[in-house]
């Protein structure tokens, strides 16, 4: 049950004075990113923080107002200049002045009577807003405030400015947030007393009040004591939730697995290479986990090409030898098929029965596969999320390996573990994840890191080239094909778009085919599985030398003799994605290159990304830079996946606060695993406040 003290925060925003159906819809869109589904709640609104302030103490005078600055000016209204009749696209201007200079107040689609009433000629008014300079003259477009001297005396000198959405004014957003704050109950203190004293932090309520009623711009900065306190509360809720998931998984009990290593030896004998030192170390960590009578929950990080799949196969072989089944799940069908192709031959040589399981209609063949999974005759299943549909049953699922973990969340981890009575879990990612994000999203897991790349791999030479040098690039590609090389050509879109001025896969395939004929193939996510497989087979076999594709090849696609990667409109891709795509080449002992094609002029962030790609191939360094440039939601894809991002905390700014929250959560769960003590009761309030109530249910379910 949710603590009763929080009930006022869990009602719809329409319960606030002045919030009718229209404003409720706008506030829901602002706070949740959607207009359908349940309406936003009062608590969501209360946690919506300002991004800047209006400082009415800043009154520089017209001549001294800096472009882009939000200023307050005391002005005299000189004259009104309505647009000419029938010219509604021309703005209405009101010319004002002070002792330092002149300014035009600019209004689009304005009502003349209203403006004449608000700004009477010859009267003095205070106006607040952003200064823009056009044609050497200062303008203020749609001022935030236009008030008389008497009204100005009643305005706060410092006022918060909130992120808003189309149709929602700053004034209505601020008024709604003030109404929400009035509902905030006197919450119990869940913070660790010595930590609060050391950091000089006030209570949650006081910190929230300070950010919503700032004295100056410093109060809303991420480094302010109030913002750090709020970040700690949100991060502590997240760390506690992850700790409780881990605790629950361990409590359910695992199975100590013993394998003599017969199947592992058979697979190793069939390998054309020896494992790296790093692979051996990680395998040792996994073996140690399997030998314990508790569930394994391990994150396996390894850069593109570090050899995660073979480590996973050897772990699965140990579980199969112990008498259970294993499964490997990938986010796309292309990647699932590739995993199957990579392990099928090795499984045959070791006498392991492996099968590919994908979605689609329930054919007779698929029904047979489901039957063999249920009776245990399939020992290793390879597939997409179709593996974990309710209709799929395993005889005894001992190990689940999940590839590209950031596409799946904690909920899926719990759902997968429910497929067996004592399922161990290994999750793999080739997306290098900065340490702070590992702590944030995977704090319930032990972490293994594969370093280095298998012997014989060569570094990839990365260059950047403007789109207007396309002819030069095509000529270079022609020479490379004559030398017997193959290349990927990545485009951001499947087909042409009127909204985005970029070349699509279909258009680029057509233009390259004019030069290279049938040597050009195409693959993208909208193609049928059979078409994609045929295109990939033609590329692997050499009939196709240039494969034009979307980022469907980003993860896992393995064509070792492809040596060139062209990424068109590289400025539109994130760093982690560029790094993943580049990792599709350099997978043999032949020299490889990556060409980042960009449309000039480059923005500041796009230029920074391209420079980083040219300077390093260190995945972790690239991931740290990606985090700094884009924020955690974009790096892990949580914006799109619906995994929880953060409202009050910023992983970029609050990494040290995260470490404090993690240590605090660990100690708490060691000393009070049921959150039953006085502080534990307060922490249950915290978990519900930040929507981590599933964690409380885990405690109750034992």
57-155 against 262-450: fold identical: no
Q: Per-residue pLDDT tens for 94-129?
A: 999 999 999 999 999 888 999 999 999 999 999 988
| Residue 643 pLDDT greater than 60, yes or no | no
Segment 424-462, tens digit of pLDDT: 989 888 777 777 777 777 766 788 888 876 666 778 999
Give 536-578 pLDDT, tens digit per residue.
Answer: 889 989 999 999 998 766 544 678 889 999 999 998 888 878 8
pLDDT at position 223 is 94
Question: Which tokens is 403 given?
Answer: 């590839």
How far does the chain reach from its first CA to its final CA, in angstroms?
Answer: 16
Q: Are 112 and 82 spatial neighbours (Cβ–Cβ below 8 Å)?
A: yes
How far CA 574 is from CA of 233, 620, 634, 635, in Å, comes to: 30, 14, 8, 8
Q: How many CB atoms lie within 10 A of CB 123?
A: 12
Per cent of the chain over pLDDT 70 is 91
> What is d(CA 135, CA 63) in angstroms, rounded to the nearest whole number?
15
- Buried b vs exposed e over 228-248: b needs ≥16 C-beta within 10 Å? bbbbbbbbbbbbbbbbbbbbb
Q: pLDDT band at residue 639, thresholds of 50, 70 and 90?
A: very low
What number does CATH give the domain 57-155?
2.40.50.140
What is the pLDDT, as a whole number, of residue 638? Answer: 45
The radius of gyration of the chain from alpha carbons, rounded to an integer in Å, stands at: 30
Residues 288-308, mean pLDDT to the nearest whole number: 86
Chain mean position to CA 408:
12
Domains of the chain, by residue range, sit at: 4-52+179-221, 57-155, 262-450, 460-616
> What are the angstrom distances between the C-alpha of 648 and each of 176, 207, 264, 437?
19, 11, 48, 16
Q: What is the pLDDT of residues 219-239, one digit of tens each?
A: 999 999 999 999 999 999 989
* pLDDT per residue as tens digits for the range 130-184: 899 887 889 999 998 899 999 998 888 898 989 998 888 888 999 999 999 999 9
Within 10 angstroms of residue 152's Cβ, the number of other Cβ atoms is: 18
Buried b (16+ CB within 10 A) or exposed e, 397-428: bbbbbbbbbbbbbbebbeebbebbebbbbbbb
Please, what sign has the CA dihedral across residues 571, 577, 582, 585? negative
* DSSP for 419-486, written as a single string: TSSS-EEEEEESS---HHHHHHHSTTSEEEEE-S--TT--PEEEEEEEGGGHHHHHHHHHHHHHTT-E
SS (H, E, C) 289-318: HHHCCCCCEEEEEECCCCCHHHHHHHHHHH
Q: In the predicted model, is pLDDT for residue 641 greater than 50?
A: no
Name the burial class of residue 84, with classes exposed (0-12), middle (13-18) and buried (19+) by CB atoms within 10 angstroms of its CB.
Answer: exposed
User: Is a pLDDT exceeding 90 seen at residue 593?
Assistant: yes
Under a CB-based contact definition with an 8 Å cutoff, are residues 550 and 493 in contact? yes
Confidence (pLDDT) at 502: 63
What are the structure tokens assigned to 617, written together?
């191939």
CATH superfamily of 262-450: P-loop containing nucleotide triphosphate hydrolases (3.40.50.300)
On the question of pLDDT at 671 being above 60, the answer is yes
Query: How many Cα atoms sit within 13 Å of 379 on the Cβ side?
Result: 21
CA distance 143 to 688: 40
Q: At residue 63, does pLDDT exceed 70?
A: yes
CATH superfamily assigned to domain 460-616: P-loop containing nucleotide triphosphate hydrolases (3.40.50.300)
Would you say 283 and 315 are in contact if contact means Cβ atoms under 8 Å apart? yes
- Of 515-519, 553-557, 609-613, 629-633, which range is least confident? 553-557
**pLDDT score, position 364:** 86
DSSP tag of 221: S
Percentage of the chain with pLDDT > 90?
52
pLDDT (0 to 100) of residue 346: 95
Q: Is 197 exposed, middle or buried (0-12, 13-18, 19+ CB in 10 A)?
A: exposed
Identify the weakest region by mean pLDDT among 108-112, 342-346, 358-362, 603-607: 358-362
pTM to 2 decimal places:
0.68
Strands 380-383 and 354-357: parallel
What is the average pLDDT value for the chain, to the nearest integer? 87
Closest C-alpha among 73, 77, 53 to residue 64: 73
Strands of 68-118 (E only): list them. 70-81, 92-97, 102-107
Separation in Å, CA 17 to CA 20, 23, 156:
8, 11, 21
| pLDDT per residue as tens digits for the range 481-491 | 999 999 999 99
Q: What is the C-alpha separation between 38 and 36, in angstroms, rounded? A: 7
73/16 Cα distance (integer angstroms)? 34
How far apart are alpha carbons 407 and 403 in whole angstroms?
Answer: 9
Number of other residues whose CB lies within 10 A of the CB of residue 526: 11
Contacts (Cβ under 8 Å, ≥6 apart) of 560: 587, 588
Condensed to tens digits (0 to 9), the pLDDT of residues 376-421 reads 999 999 998 788 777 788 999 999 998 875 555 555 666 666 777 8
| Euclidean distance between CA atoms 589 and 463, whole angstroms | 20
């Amino acid at each position: 049950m949710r603590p009763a003290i929080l009930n006022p925060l869990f009602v719809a925003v329409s319960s606030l004075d002045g919030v009718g159906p229209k404003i409720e819809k706008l506030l829901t869109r602002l706070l949740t990113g959607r207009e359908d589904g349940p309406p936003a709640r009062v608590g969501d609104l209360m946690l919506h923080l300002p991004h800047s302030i209006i400082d009415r103490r800043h009154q520089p005078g017209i001549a001294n107002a800096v472009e882009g600055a939000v200023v307050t000016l005391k002005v005299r209204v000189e004259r009104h200049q309505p647009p000419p009749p029938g010219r509604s696209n021309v703005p209405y201007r009101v010319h004002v002045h002070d002792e330092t200079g002149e300014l035009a107040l600019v209004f689009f689609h304005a009502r003349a009577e209203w403006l004449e009433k608000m700004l009477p000629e010859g009267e003095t008014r205070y106006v607040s807003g952003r200064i823009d300079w056009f044609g050497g003259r200062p303008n203020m477009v749609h001022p935030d405030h236009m008030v008389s001297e008497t009204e100005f005396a009643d305005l706060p000198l410092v006022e918060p400015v909130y992120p808003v959405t189309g149709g929602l004014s700053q004034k209505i957003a601020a008024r709604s947030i003030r109404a929400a704050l009035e509902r905030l109950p006197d919450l119990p203190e869940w913070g660790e007393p010595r930590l609060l004293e050391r950091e000089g932090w006030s209570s949650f309520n006081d910190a929230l009040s300070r950010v919503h009623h700032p004295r100056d711009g410093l109060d809303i900065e991420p480094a302010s004591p109030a913002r750090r306190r709020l970040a700690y509360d949100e991060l502590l809720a997240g760390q506690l939730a992850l700790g409780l998931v881990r605790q629950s998984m361990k409590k359910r009990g695992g199975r100590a697995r013993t394998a003599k290593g017969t199947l592992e030896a058979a697979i190793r004998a069939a390998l054309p290479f020896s494992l790296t030192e790093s692979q051996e170390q990680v395998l040792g960590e996994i073996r140690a986990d399997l030998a314990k009578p508790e569930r394994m929950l391990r994150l396996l990080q390894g850069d593109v090409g570090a050899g995660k799949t073979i480590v996973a196969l050897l772990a699965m072989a140990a579980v199969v030898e112990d008498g259970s089944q294993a499964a490997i799940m990938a986010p796309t069908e292309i990647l699932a098929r590739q995993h199957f192709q990579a392990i099928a031959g090795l499984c045959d040589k070791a006498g392991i029965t492996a099968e590919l399981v994908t979605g689609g209609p329930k054919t007779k063949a698929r029904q047979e596969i489901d039957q063999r999974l249920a009776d245990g005759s399939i020992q290793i299943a390879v597939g997409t999320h179709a593996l974990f549909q309710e209709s799929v049953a395993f005889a005894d699922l001992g190990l689940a390996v999940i590839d590209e973990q950031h596409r799946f969340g904690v909920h899926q981890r719990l759902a997968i573990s429910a497929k067996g009575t004592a399922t161990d879990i290994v999750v793999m990612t080739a997306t290098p994840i900065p340490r702070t994000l590992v702590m944030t999203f995977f704090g319930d897991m032990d972490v293994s890191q594969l370093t280095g790349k298998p012997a014989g791999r060569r570094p990839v030479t990365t260059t950047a080239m403007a789109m207007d040098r396309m002819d030069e690039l095509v000529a270079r590609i022609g020479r490379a094909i004559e030398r017997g090389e193959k290349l990927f050509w990545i485009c951001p879109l499947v087909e042409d778009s009127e909204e985005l001025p970029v070349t699509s896969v279909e258009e680029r395939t057509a233009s390259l085919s004019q030069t290279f004929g049938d040597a050009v193939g195409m693959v993208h996510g909208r193609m049928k599985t059979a078409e994609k497989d045929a295109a990939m087979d033609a590329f692997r076999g050499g009939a196709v030398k240039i494969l034009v594709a979307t980022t469907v090849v980003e993860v896992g696609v393995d064509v070792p003799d492809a040596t060139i990667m062209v990424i068109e409109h590289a400025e539109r891709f994130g760093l982690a994605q560029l790094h993943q795509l580049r990792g599709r080449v350099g997978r043999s002992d032949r020299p490889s290159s990556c060409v980042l094609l960009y449309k000039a002029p480059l923005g500041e962030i796009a230029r920074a990304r391209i420079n980083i790609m040219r300077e390093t191939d260190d995945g972790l360094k690239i991931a740290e830079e990606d985090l700094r440039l884009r924020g955690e939601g974009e790096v892990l894809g949580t914006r799109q996946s619906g995994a929880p991002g953060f409202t009050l905390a910023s992983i970029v700014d609050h990494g040290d606060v995260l470490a404090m929250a993690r240590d605090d959560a660990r100690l708490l769960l060691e000393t009070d695993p049921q959150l039953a003590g006085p502080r534990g009761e307060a922490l249950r309030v915290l978990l519900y406040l930040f929507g981590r109530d599933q964690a409380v249910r885990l405690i109750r379910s034992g």
